[in-house]
């Protein structure tokens, strides 16, 4: 300690070299969107104000907690985090009851699985094919928990994000030379997954789901009914709806909202009542205020995601870049499929980040906070060496002395 010199001078010089700038813009935009989502859930979805306020407080705490989190903890304990997340998902399947054939608390846990898989990839770095195979195999237990929930969208999100993260890890050289061989193997496995699902009998149902999402009129009284209703009343939504429009006033009726429209099944100008789930809450905003307000909301969310992506691409530390990329990909897929859902393409149910669901909002803010922790100090972090490279062949220690040249 004495050989390092005057502690005040050393601290001053280190502080001059690294003075991280607070990321006030991203936390501010995230908080503003979360407050707007809380207001819309109370106003349009008739959620309990106490629960919405509690979710907003917990989400803000999660955002700040993630922002000040030391990302190097994940670099030191990636497999412990992976094991804990996998155990939490498996225990939730056993402890919580099924409602409508789904374990809802497991659906919340699988939202974190793309980030968990990024940490698993980081723990599998090494210049061997065994490490590469282990990296791919780590996604199988996560996929099994997601399928047991069940969550078709969660499975699709995990497979897509996992493929992108694996290709990025290969590009960064985590598995050594021969990147084209590793990338070709990963793409071949990705192409074989649809064939596997088709072979076990899920392919026909999946193709039927895609067809009905594009052509809901093919089954207007069955699986295409929701898409038919959405597309029918979207035809009459103006750019800006007047405040005294009776249709706008009817949107907030009922626990989940009630939309009044001419029946799409009879062609008569009567009224049809359709109860939308919480994932359709942005649709209520569109029906009540018109296209302009809805497009402004989506533009704000797009700005947030684009901002996160730009900051992610600037990261030099590999784990930080991959973790932030997992967050952006997960939230981006949620936004994309939620937009398609509210435009009448009822393919896979998804929530709009920071807008829909109290627990979803808390988890979304926690994920954004985790990305912000990377942006705040990730550029000075260094990647941990793989286990087989940590022992140096240079056995001697080098003593470095830092001496201040400033006069007292």
pLDDT tens, position by position, 346-389 = 888 888 999 988 999 999 999 999 998 888 765 455 555 555 55
Instruction: Supply the DSSP string of 118-184, one letter for each residue.
Output: HHHHHHT-SSSHHHHHHHHHTHHHHHHHHHHTT-HHHHHHHHHHHHHHHHHHHHTTTT-S-HHHHHH
Q: How many CB atoms lie within 10 A of CB 81?
A: 17
Burial of 114 (0-12, 13-18, 19+ CB in 10 A): buried
pLDDT at 253: 37
pLDDT at 157: 93
Estimate the crossing angle of helix 49-67 against helix 358-377, to 10 degrees.
Answer: 20
pLDDT tens, position by position, 36-88 = 999 988 887 778 899 999 999 999 999 999 888 877 788 888 999 999 999 99
Render the burial of 124-152: b for 16+ CB within 10 Å, e for the rest: bbbeeeebbeebeebbebbbebbeebbbb
**How many helices (H) and strands (E) in the chain?**
18, 0
Cα–Cα dist 299/291, whole Å: 12
pLDDT tens, position by position, 301-355 = 999 999 999 988 888 888 888 999 999 999 999 999 999 888 888 888 888 999 9
Mean pLDDT for all residues in the chain: 81
pLDDT at 258: 43
Burial of 351 (0-12, 13-18, 19+ CB in 10 A): buried
Question: What is Dmax (Cα atoms) for the chain?
Answer: 90
pLDDT at 273: 47
Cα–Cα dist 335/29, whole Å: 16
Cβ within 8 Å of residue 404, ≥6 positions away: 5, 6, 9, 10, 13
Cα–Cα dist 252/288, whole Å: 9
Cα–Cα–Cα angle for 67, 71, 77, rounded to 5 degrees: 140
Instruction: Supply the DSSP string of 210-236, one letter for each residue.
Output: HHHHH-GGGSTTTTTHHHHHHHHHHTT
- Report how far apart, in Å, the C-alpha atoms of 8 and of each of 145, 146, 296, 402, 407 are: 53, 53, 51, 12, 12
9-12 CB contacts, 8 Å cutoff, 24+ apart: 9/404, 9/406, 10/402, 10/404
């Amino acid at each position: 300690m004495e050989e390092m010199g005057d502690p005040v001078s050393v601290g001053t010089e280190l502080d001059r070299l690294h003075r991280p700038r607070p990321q006030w813009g991203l936390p501010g935009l995230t908080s503003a969107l979360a407050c707007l989502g809380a207001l819309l859930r109370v106003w349009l979805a008739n959620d309990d104000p106490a629960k919405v306020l509690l979710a907003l407080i917990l989400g803000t705490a999660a955002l700040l907690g993630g922002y000040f989190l030391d990302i190097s903890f994940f670099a030191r304990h990636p497999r412990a985090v992976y094991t804990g997340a996998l155990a939490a998902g498996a225990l939730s399947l056993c402890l919580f009851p099924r409602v409508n054939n789904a374990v809802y608390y497991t659906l919340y846990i699988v939202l974190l699985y793309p980030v968990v898989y990024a940490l698993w990839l980081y723990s599998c770095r090494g210049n061997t094919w065994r490490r590469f195979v282990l990296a791919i195999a780590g996604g199988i237990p996560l996929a099994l928990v997601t399928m047991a929930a069940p969550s078709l969208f969660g499975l699709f999100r995990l497979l897509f994000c996992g493929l992108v993260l694996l290709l990025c890890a290969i590009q960064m050289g985590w598995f050594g030379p021969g990147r084209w061989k590793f990338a070709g193997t990963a793409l071949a496995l990705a192409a074989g997954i649809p064939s596997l699902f088709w072979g076990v009998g899920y392919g026909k149902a999946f193709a039927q789901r895609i067809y009905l999402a594009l052509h809901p009129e093919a089954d207007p009284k069955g699986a295409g009914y929701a898409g038919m209703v959405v597309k029918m009343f979207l035809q009459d939504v103006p750019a800006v709806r007047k405040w005294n429009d009776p249709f706008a006033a009817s949107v907030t009726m009922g626990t989940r909202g009630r939309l009044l429209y001419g029946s799409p099944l009879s062609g008569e100008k009567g009224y049809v009542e359709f109860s939308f789930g919480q994932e359709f809450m942005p649709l209520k905003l569109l029906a009540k205020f018109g296209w302009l307000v809805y497009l402004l909301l989506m533009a704000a969310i797009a700005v947030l995601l684009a901002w996160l992506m730009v900051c992610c691409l600037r990261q030099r530390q590999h784990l930080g870049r991959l973790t932030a990329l997992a967050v952006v990909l997960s939230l981006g897929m949620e936004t994309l499929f939620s937009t398609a859902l509210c435009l009448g393409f009822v393919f896979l149910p998804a929530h709009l980040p920071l807008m829909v669901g109290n627990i979803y909002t808390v988890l979304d803010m926690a994920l954004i906070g985790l990305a912000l922790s990377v942006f705040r100090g990730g550029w000075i972090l260094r990647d941990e060496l793989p286990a087989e490279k940590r022992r140096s062949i240079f056995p001697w220690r080098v003593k470095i002395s830092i001496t201040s040249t400033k006069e007292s």
